Amino acid sequence: MLRFFSIFLVLLVVLFVGELTPPVQQWLIVPWTSFLASASAFLVQAVDANVVSYGKVLQNAKTGMGVSIEAGCNGVEACLILLAALTAYPARWRYKLVGIGIGFVAIQLVNLVRIITLFYLAGWNAQAFEFAHLYLWQALIMLDVVVVWLVWMRWVARQDFRREHLQADTGVAA
């Protein structure tokens, strides 16, 4: 347990510091954030043709109301926390890669829902937006990370159990 927490904390520091470096910001974070704004606009345009995006901004072209997707709102930090937890956990790398891929998708899908709901809340009620932005969605994104990690750990345990039983039944290493 101490080994897991030590590796987890070191990885968190390394990943968070790395995320803040100018090359990572320029080549990964800023383009990803712009992609999220574009993807959000694409999804919303199915029901509201007035929604556009430019850079990291999602905006209603008719009313001018919009939101800017800032650092901490692009799901990157949540993905880094999950990445550190999955990497620190004692499992086969094949399992870790599956968890990283599925976890990234799960977190970013929830984050798209977050961005779209905050966009509409911003136009509806400033107090509701502030509460949802600062408290509700922060907790829900972190809950998503925890749920993905717990489901993944359970899946890993089942895979290991099956592997051990296959070895015991056949006498062959899997």
**Running DSSP on this structure, what letter comes out for residue 98?**
H
Greater confidence, 161 or 127? 127
| pLDDT value at 51 more than 70 | yes
Query: What would the two tokens of residue 111 be?
Result: 């984050």
| pLDDT value at 100 more than 60 | yes
**What per-residue confidence (pLDDT) applies to 161?**
79
Mean pLDDT of all residues in 86-109: 97
| pLDDT value at 162 more than 80 | no
| pLDDT value at 96 more than 90 | yes
Q: Which of 148, 74, 82 shows the shortest CA–CA distance to 115? A: 74
| pLDDT value at 23 more than 80 | yes
Confidence grade of residue 166 (pLDDT, cut at 50, 70, 90) = low
The answer to whether 25 touches 83, Cβ cutoff 8 Å, is no
Distances from the Cα of 108 to the Cα of 42, 131, 160, angstroms:
15, 21, 28
pLDDT above 90 as % of the chain: 89
Confidence grade of residue 160 (pLDDT, cut at 50, 70, 90) = confident
**What per-residue confidence (pLDDT) applies to 71?**
87
pTM for the structure as a whole = 0.90
Per the DSSP assignment, residues forming a β-bridge with 58 are 53, 67
Edge-to-edge strands, sheet with 57-60: 51-54, 57-60, 66-68
The rounded distance, in Å, linking the Cα atoms of 19 and 89 is 22
**What per-residue confidence (pLDDT) applies to 143?**
97
